[in-house]
Structure 1
Amino acid sequence: MTFSIIGRCQESGQLGIAISSSSIAVGARCPWVRAGVGAVATQNVTLPALGPQILDLLETKQFDPQSALDHALGANDYSEYRQVTVIDTNGRTAFFSGKEALGIYTAVAGEQCVAAGNMLAGTHVIEAMVPAFQNTQGSLADRLLAAMHAAMTAGGEAGPVHSAALKIAGDPIWPIVDLRVDWADDDPIGQLDSLWQAYRPQMQDYVTRALNPTAAPSYGVPGNE
């Protein structure tokens, strides 16, 4: 029903998630990022609260990803229905797939990344994501999306994919990328990639205009934010 990858860019320190699902609006419930702290993907029978709870624990600096994950799962009911992946600002990772996860499920950790999924066409879908992330050149968003395309090429989910999301944290406290395709009958991952290609050349401009409006470029759009 869902597959995702969380990752960190060693050069920029950015943290991010790309995720897709057969369900509507996966980006509203499952991806969580916090600048300078970490990224969490909460999926399968999703408990969105796990995302901020784990990030809160990481932010205290008293928990590593595995202990933060264990603590959050232990404090909530029905952990065996959850699938969760975690990465912190140092690139350390953890993951969990409960025994009640749906269909074929697995998770694979790589160099500063973790991919996971359930209701898959096969475990090879997730196994294809890590090398795609690690071997792709470019920005963190490019690498995360390359992993998603690799998963689809490998067979994707057991059923059709309908929603997808990309969320990345950089230096500001807010996500510098937060793009979603909440419902599409055809190729939501491709549509998400198109959104990224449109947003990419404007991304830094929106950071600039937030921090220093006097330096903000204008795109000549009425009501431009």
Structure 2
Amino acid sequence: MTFSIVAYDPREKEWGIAVQSKFLGVGAVVPFAKAGVGAVATQSYANTAYGPQALEWMAQGKSAEEAMELITKDDPDKEMRQVGLIDAAGSAATFTGSACYDWAGGVTGKHFAAQGNILVDEKTVKAMAETFEATEGSLAHRLLQALHAGQQAGGDSRGQQSAALLVVKEKGGYGGYNDRFIDLRVDDHPDPINELIRIYGLQQLYFSKAKPEKIVAVAGEVKETVIQHLKRLDYLKANPSDDAELHQALTAYLHTENFEEREQEQGKIDLEVLEFMKNQ
């Protein structure tokens, strides 16, 4: 009742999984990953022990194919399981047990494995693979586009309910204290993939660094717009008496909205933050 894609970005040294299912909170069951080691998607009567087991084997230097053999060989219910693995070097493996409900299957390619069960047909997995290979950009973006293409091609034959995106990289988490670079879940929603794409956009807005070309002076029309919306949002009661007062109000807004990663020196603003402010 699930389709997923696991993949690796060799340039950024990122490992990730994107998944959708007619199942509540799929992000709590399917995805496992560890920076420098690999990623796992375990589904179809998921054996959640496969996640830590596969990561442990791959941490010891086993390839995705070798880890797949090791985690499934002693499982009496392995023919009901489906798993996708990507190892530290980006080699992929996918397994679909013979007892998985139709349509079920998977495909591997350069740095990815895509798989699904209880699908409308094989077009979902094919669309995920082709889209991942053809899409440029970050690993997260490619995974989400692949997931969306899989849904457009048919997806889970029972419908949609939840989706998740997990990407890890060394010191990629908040403050650099762990490897959870992106960890987003939509647990129950009529359109979970598009909702996941929406909150990924917010995650990028809040936690990505400002683009140099988007940093502009708070002057002229930009200044008027900033003042207008700071007043509307009750950070200013009237027009500021000077630039220091304006900067103080803007700083209060940025910190309230968790835009510390987008904060600029006095007299400048990130246009992506301004666009968010205008739409509040």
Do both share a fold (TM > 0.5)? yes
The RMSD of aligned alpha carbons is: 1.9
Counterpart for residue 102 of structure 2 = 103
Match of 1:199 among 203, 221, 227: 203
The answer to whether the 8 Å contact 1:101/1:118 transfers is yes
Q: Does 1:134 align with 2:138?
A: no
The answer to whether the 8 Å contact 1:34/1:174 transfers is yes
- Following the alignment from structure 1 to structure 2, what is the Cα–Cα distance between the partners of residues 77 and 13? 35
Q: Does 1:54 align with 2:54?
A: yes
The answer to whether the 8 Å contact 2:206/2:259 transfers is no
- Following the alignment from structure 2 to structure 1, what is the Cα–Cα distance between the partners of residues 84 and 257? 41
Aligned length: 212
* Structure 1: 4+ residue segments shifted above 4 A: 222-225
* Residues 56-108 of structure 1, C-alpha deviations (whole Å, 9 max, x = no match): 010011x1111111111123331111000100121101111001112210101
TM-score, normalization: structure 1? Answer: 0.89
Which amino acid in 2 is paired with 1:220? H
1:222 Cα shift? 8.4
The answer to whether the 8 Å contact 1:177/1:203 transfers is no
Counterpart for residue 175 of structure 1 = 180
Counterpart for residue 13 of structure 1 = 13
- More RCO (CA 8 Å, sep 6+): 1
- Following the alignment from structure 2 to structure 1, what is the Cα–Cα distance between the partners of residues 258 and 65? 45
1:43 Cα shift? 0.4
* Residues 113-140 of structure 1, C-alpha deviations (whole Å, 9 max, x = no match): 1100000010111011111011111111
TM-score, normalization: structure 2? Answer: 0.72
Counterpart for residue 68 of structure 1 = 67
1:223 Cα shift? 9.6
What secondary structure does 2:86 align onto? Answer: strand
Counterpart for residue 256 of structure 2 = 221
Counterpart for residue 175 of structure 2 = none
The answer to whether the 8 Å contact 1:4/1:148 transfers is yes
Identical positions, percent: 35
1:10 Cα shift? 2.4
Q: Computing the radius of gyration over CA atoms, which structure comes out larger, 1 or 2?
A: 2
What secondary structure does 1:149 align onto? Answer: helix
- Following the alignment from structure 1 to structure 2, what is the Cα–Cα distance between the partners of residues 151 and 32? 21
* Residues 4-51 of structure 1, C-alpha deviations (whole Å, 9 max, x = no match): 001111220110000000010000010001000000000011111101
Which amino acid in 2 is paired with 1:39? A
- Following the alignment from structure 2 to structure 1, what is the Cα–Cα distance between the partners of residues 148 and 73? 34
Which amino acid in 2 is paired with 1:93? A
- Structure 2: runs of 5 or more not aligned: 172-177, 210-250, 261-280
The answer to whether the 8 Å contact 1:167/1:178 transfers is yes
1:224 Cα shift? 9.9
Counterpart for residue 30 of structure 1 = 30
1:203 Cα shift? 3.0
1:202 Cα shift? 2.8
Q: Does 1:116 align with 2:151?
A: no
Counterpart for residue 80 of structure 2 = 81
The answer to whether the 8 Å contact 1:176/1:203 transfers is no
Which amino acid in 2 is paired with 1:101? C
What secondary structure does 2:131 align onto? Answer: helix
The answer to whether the 8 Å contact 2:64/2:91 transfers is yes
- Structure 1: runs of 5 or more not aligned: 206-216
The answer to whether the 8 Å contact 2:58/2:88 transfers is no
What secondary structure does 2:124 align onto? Answer: helix
